[in-house]
Amino acid sequence: MLNTTRWPFPRVIAHRCGGTTAPENTLVALRLAATMGFGGVEFDVKLAKFGVPMLIHDDTVDRTTDGAGPVAAYDAAELRALDAGLWFGNEFAGERIPTFDAATALCHNLGLWANIEIKPDRDNAVETGRIVAGIAARLWHDDNPAPLLSSFSEAALAAARSAEPALPLALLVAEPPSDWIEGTRRLGCRALHCRQEYVTEQMVTAAHEAGLGILAYTVNDPQRAFALFGMGIDAIITDELGLVRPDQLAPMPGS
Q: How far is CA 223 from CA 19, 64, 165, 232, in A?
A: 18, 30, 37, 14
15 is catalytic: yes
Within 10 A of 72 (CB to CB), how many other CB atoms are there?
17
CA of residue 72 relative to chain centroid, distance: 20
57 is catalytic: yes
Of 57, 108, 141, 193, which is the active-site residue?
57
DSSP assignment of 134-181, as one string? HHHHHHTTT-SSPPEEEES-HHHHHHHHHH-TTS-EEEE-SSPPTTHH
Of 15, 108, 193, 208, which is the active-site residue?
15
User: Which residues share a beta bridge with 238?
Assistant: 14
Indicate the Cα dihedral angle 173, 177, 179, 183, nearest 10°. Answer: -20
Residues annotated as catalytic are 15, 57
